[in-house]
């Protein structure tokens, strides 16, 4: 019993989220809405600013900006802490609410208060756009017949894109391969 009424579903979701958040920074509970948002992102396109966010030590954190996205062009970095979204403090919203606040129709804007390292928070206004995620970049030959492929994240499209890039490198007679996974936030396990 509590002083205020709470929906049973919200209590269960909060309990499961609390249990999983204590495991490690890579475990998280997804509500049906958050799962739908994740599926949309791993499908290869969505409308928003183009960042992957997560919660670390109770703070909303940029896991990685998506290359060539509005957030990437605005200068957001992995590790940036989001203090507020359109003036609403991030400590008082869930991860799902934050994702919904960052996404929106193409051409609309969102203002984010960002804290980086030990500096004072600063505001960044970003215009949302259609985010098309090409998860594999490269497929080029470096010196000494070393092939180079970069995987930005693991989405539904990654296996096919990787195969195309790998075949291109084989045609160029590569004898070694550099597989670049820097700033890759992860994604679909089977990809």
Convert 143-154 to b/e letters by CB count within 10 Å (16 or more is b).
eeeebbbbbbbb
With vertex at residue 44, the alpha carbon angle to CA 165 and CA 35, rounded to the nearest 5 degrees, is 135
- Check residue 150 and give its pLDDT: 94
The proportion of the chain whose per-residue pLDDT surpasses 90, expressed as a percent, equals 36
- Check residue 126 and give its pLDDT: 95
- Cβ proximity of 77 and 139 under 8 Å: no
- Check residue 123 and give its pLDDT: 93
Neighbour count for residue 93 (Cβ, 10 Å): 17
Nearest by Cα to 125 from 87, 99, 78, 89: 87
The alpha helices in the chain, defined as continuous H runs, are: 8-21, 32-42, 70-73, 95-102, 158-171
Cα–Cα distance for residue pair 191/187, rounded to 1 Å: 8
Q: What is the pLDDT of residues 63-94, one digit of tens each?
A: 988 888 899 999 999 999 999 999 899 887 88
Q: Which residue has the tokens 């062009």?
A: 73
Q: What is the pLDDT of residues 47-69, one digit of tens each?
A: 889 888 888 888 899 998 888 88
Q: In a 3-state reduction of DSSP, which class is residue 54?
A: strand
The alpha helices in 43-89, defined as continuous H runs, are: 70-73
Whole-number average pLDDT of the chain: 87
Q: What is the pLDDT of residues 113-126, one digit of tens each?
A: 999 988 888 999 99
Q: At what angle do helices 32-42 and 95-102 cross, to 10 degrees?
A: 50
């Amino acid at each position: 019993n509590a002083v205020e009424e709470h929906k049973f579903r919200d209590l269960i979701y909060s309990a499961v989220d609390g249990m999983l958040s204590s495991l490690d920074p890579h475990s998280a509970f997804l509500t049906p809405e958050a799962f739908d948002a994740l599926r949309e992102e791993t499908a290869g396109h969505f409308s928003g600013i183009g960042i992957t966010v997560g919660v670390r030590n109770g703070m909303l954190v940029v896991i990685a900006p998506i290359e060539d996205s509005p957030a990437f062009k605005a200068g957001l970095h992995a590790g940036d802490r989001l203090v507020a979204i359109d003036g609403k403090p991030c400590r008082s919203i869930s991860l799902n609410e934050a994702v919904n606040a960052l996404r929106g129709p193409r051409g609309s804007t969102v203002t984010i208060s960002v804290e980086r390292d030990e500096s004072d928070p600063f505001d960044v206004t970003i215009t949302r756009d259609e985010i098309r995620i090409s998860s594999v970049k490269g497929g080029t030959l470096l010196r000494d017949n070393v092939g180079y492929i970069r995987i930005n994240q693991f989405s539904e499209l990654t296996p096919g894109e990787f195969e195309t890039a790998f075949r291109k490198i084989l045609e160029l007679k590569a004898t070694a391969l550099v597989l670049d996974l820097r700033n890759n936030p992860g994604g679909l396990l089977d990809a």
